[in-house]
Amino acid sequence: MQEVDVLVVGAGQAGVQVVSALRSGDFAGSIGLVTDQTSAPYELPPLSKDYLKGERPFRRMMLRSPAFWTQHDIALRRGKAVTSIDPDAHCVGLTDGTSIGYGRLVWAAGGYPRNLTCSGADLLGVHPVRTRRDVLSLRRDFERAAHVAVIGGGYIGLEVAAAANQAGKSVVIIEALGRVLSRVAGETLSRFYEAEHRARGVEIRTGARVSHLVGEEGRVRGVALGDGHVVKADVVVVGIGIDPAVGPLLAAGAKGGNGVEVDEFCRTSLPDIFAAGDVAAHVNRFAGDRVVRLESVQNANDQANVVARTILGDPKPYEATPWFWSNQYDLKLQTVGLSTDHDEAIIRGDPLSRSFSIAYFKNDRIVAFDCVNAMRDYAQGRGLLLRRGLDRSRLADPGIPLKEL
53 binds other proteins (CB under 8 A): no
CB of 269 to other proteins, least distance (A): 29
Report the C-alpha gap between 396 and 405 in whole angstroms: 11
Nearest C-alpha neighbor of 385 from the set 333, 319, 326, 308: 319
Among 1, 28, 67, 352, contact with other proteins (rule: CB under 8 A)? 67
Nearest C-alpha neighbor of 7 from the set 95, 144, 108: 108
Nearest C-alpha neighbor of 44 from the set 299, 375, 306, 334: 299
Nearer of residues 230 and 379 to other proteins, judged by Cβ:
379
Nearer of residues 266 and 270 to other proteins, judged by Cβ:
266
Nearest C-alpha neighbor of 17 from the set 352, 359, 298: 298
Among 54, 55, 65, 79, contact with other proteins (rule: CB under 8 A)? 65
Nearer of residues 137 and 321 to other proteins, judged by Cβ:
321
CB of 225 to other proteins, least distance (A): 35
DSSP states of 164-233 as a string? HHHTT-EEEEE-SSSSTTTTTS-HHHHHHHHHHHHHTT-EEE-S--EEEEEEETTEEEEEEETTS-EEE-
CB of 208 to other proteins, least distance (A): 31
CB of 398 to other proteins, least distance (A): 14
Residues whose CB is less than 8 angstroms from the CB of residue 12 and which lie 6 or more positions away in sequence, other chains included: 41, 44, 108, 110, 277, 278, 300
20 binds other proteins (CB under 8 A): yes
Among 78, 382, 400, 405, contact with other proteins (rule: CB under 8 A)? 382
60 binds other proteins (CB under 8 A): yes
Which stretch in 3-11, 65-73, 187-195, 204-212 sits in contact with other proteins by CB under 8 A? 65-73
Binding residues for other proteins (CB under 8 A): 13, 17, 20, 24, 43, 45-46, 59-62, 64-68, 71-72, 297-298, 301, 323, 325, 327, 332, 334, 375-376, 378-380, 382
